[in-house]
Amino acid sequence: MATPAEYEIKIKSLQWDGLRSLWDDIENRNTPDWESGKAFEYLVLRAFQLDGAEVRFPYSVRLFDEEVEQIDGAIHSNGISCLVESKDFSDNTKVNIAPIAKLRNQLLRRPATAVGLVFSRTGFTDPARNLSRFLSPQAILLWDGDEIKYGLENEKICELLALKYRVCIEYGLSDYNIIARNIP
């Protein structure tokens, strides 16, 4: 399979139309040139990059000559700095609490203003959604596949991040759905 550098070159060659086409391939489970889950991981970051965010593609963090973290990416947009966790399960399983707990632990080593973003093509279990609402002072915002698709179609994913962050600040909702726009 390709190296991270090769994936980065490949994804950076795509503009919005290419990302939407790749999204269709991801949904149809037809990404033969990508290792499992990688197309989704890189697509999310590239969408933010195309919309003006500064991004860091997947990387490792080492402490004392040991790899201690694998980070799916980082996004810096309009004063919001985020660590990214992306999940694309081939069996359409919803994301449970494990990736959220993992990201919370990573955020504990960062400044309190850092935000976590978990992207899942297939959505989240109820326990995962509930856990995300009780992680203060860390904020972890959940994004499902429909929201990602909406961002790709409208070419404005950074604006959606700002909206999700604002709702999290004002209402404490980490799983606010930008399509439904419902605040309980």
Q: What is the pLDDT along the chain (184 residues), one digit of tens a residue?
A: 799 999 999 999 999 999 999 999 999 999 999 999 999 999 999 999 999 999 999 999 998 999 998 999 999 999 999 999 999 998 889 999 999 999 999 999 999 999 999 999 999 999 999 999 998 888 999 999 999 999 999 999 999 999 999 999 999 999 999 998 877 6
**Which pLDDT score, from 0 to 100, does residue 175 have?**
95
**Which pLDDT score, from 0 to 100, does residue 161 have?**
98
- Tell me the C-alpha distance between 26 and 148, whole Å: 12
- Tell me the C-alpha distance between 110 and 48, whole Å: 21
Task: Report the amino acid identity of residue 146.
Answer: D
**Which pLDDT score, from 0 to 100, does residue 137 have?**
86
In CATH, the number for domain 4-171 is 3.40.1350.10
Q: Which residues of 128-142 are buried (b: 16+ CB within 10 A; e: fewer)?
A: bbebbeebeebbbbb
**Which pLDDT score, from 0 to 100, does residue 184 have?**
64
- Tell me the C-alpha distance between 22 and 39, whole Å: 8
- Tell me the C-alpha distance between 62 and 92, whole Å: 32
